Amino acid sequence: MSEGLFDRTAGDVGNILALEHVNVTVPDQRAAERFYVDGLGLTRDLDMDFGEANIWVNAGSQQFHLPTAPRGQVLRGTIGLVAPSLDRVRRGLDRIGADCEPGPGGSLLVRCPWGNRIRVYQAGEAFGAMALGIPWVELDAAAGTAAGIARFYGSVFEAPAAVRPTPGGAVARVGVGRHQALVFRESDDPLPPYDGHHLAIYVSQFSRPHARLAAAGLITAETSEYEYRFCDVIDPDSGEVLTTIEHEVRSLRHPMFGRPLVNGDAPAPSSTGMGYGGRI
Ligand SMILES: [Fe+2]
């Protein structure tokens, strides 16, 4: 009797439950901390001490991982960041002398010292319950690839994936958990070579995507019982490589799943939007 009253597919969540961290190397830890902590107002993860090798920075339930390396890696796209007070972020960025550009929806676009683009938004209704965190990572993609990329995440990860046209090219949006997304935006601009940066996702069903990726010869690392990796995103019909970015795929049994992350004076854990009843 109630058929048609609601779009029940709008309540579907696919197999990717969380986009947990973005990993880009940095040549200078002090400069990285100045940007991410002093500038953006995020909180260094003091529970993980890597000495001079790496720093991790908490952004709500997500993190930036910043291993030390001679060259800074640059994600081919833009990282979204939601903050409880955009004014505070603006003041922090002013204080460190970072250049900001105003953007759509009152957002601020800022670049890290090595060129990573981060678009910061004031928390609000558009981001659900996420008051602080990384709601999406948008990746530049070659013209004509968005539909195939959406089919890849749909067939391998059972993720809700939709393609919409825009004046600049098609955009594929892959749903992640309750409030996150991986977004692939087509562009005619040539992509720079892939430099090895990565992102990490948690999946509920761990073995099914592994079997599909393995069958296609796409697994690049069998890291541990809790983690595997792949890099190439292919058209599931033709096998053509559509884009490349390393995915660190973690199971919910990963020892770090659900680890509490300290976030300065950020809102309470229940409002970080992941729906697990706590921070991860
Ligand atoms: Fe990682």
pLDDT higher than 90, residue 237: yes
CATH at 149: 3.10.180.10
**Does any domain span residue 207?**
yes
Extract the tokens encoding 54.
């790496």
Q: Is residue 261 part of a domain?
A: no
Contacts of 191 (CB under 8 A, 6+ apart): 76, 140, 141, 142, 243
Res. 246: pLDDT tops 70: yes
pLDDT at 92 over 90: yes
User: Sign of the CA dihedral 218, 204, 255, 132?
Assistant: positive
Q: Is residue 171 situated within a structural domain?
A: yes
Residue 209 within any structural domain of the chain: yes
| Residue 199 Cα to ligand 1 middle (Å) | 6
Residue 116 belongs to a domain: yes
In a domain, 148, yes or no: yes
User: pTM of the full predicted structure?
Assistant: 0.92
**How many CA atoms, within 13 angstroms, populate the side-chain half-sphere of residue 271?**
13
By CB atoms closer than 10 A (0-12, 13-18, 19+), residue 198 is middle
Is residue 272 domain-resident? Answer: no
Lowest average pLDDT, out of 81-85, 136-140, 249-253, 268-272, goes to 268-272
pLDDT at 78 over 80: yes
Asked if residue 275 has pLDDT above 50, the reply is no
Mean pLDDT (whole number) for 206-228: 98
| Distance in angstroms (rounded) separating the CA atoms of residues 66 and 69 | 9
Q: How far is the CA of 4 from the centre of ligand 1 (A)?
A: 42
Distance, in Å, from the CA atom of 121 to the CA atom of 124, rounded to the nearest integer, reads 9
Residue 127 lies inside a defined structural domain of this protein: yes
How much distance in Å is there from the Cα of 88 to the middle of ligand 1?
28
- Number of compact structural domains in the chain: 1
Q: Show the domain range for 119.
A: 14-256
What is the CA(259)–ligand 1 centre distance, in A? 15
Give me Rg for the CA atoms of the chain. 18
Strands (E), 72-225: 77-83, 100-102, 108-111, 117-122, 136-142, 161-164, 171-176, 180-187, 198-203, 219-224
pLDDT at 270 exceeding the cut of 60: no
Q: How confident is the model at residue 9 (pLDDT cuts 50, 70, 90)?
A: confident
Ligand 1 is a single-atom ion; what residues have CB below 5 A from it?
A: 23, 200, 248
pLDDT band at residue 271 under the 50/70/90 scheme: very low
- In this model, does residue 44 exceed pLDDT 60? yes
Distance of alpha carbon 94 from alpha carbon 103, whole angstroms: 17
Q: What would the pLDDT profile of 108-135 be if each residue is shown by its tens digit?
A: 999 999 999 999 999 999 998 899 999 9
Q: Which residue has the tokens 């007070």?
A: 85
Ligand 1 midpoint to CA 29 (Å): 17
Q: Is the pLDDT of residue 40 over 60?
A: yes
For ligand 1, the distance from its centroid to the CA atom of residue 148, given in whole angstroms, is 25
65 C-alpha vs ligand 1 centroid, how far in Å? 7
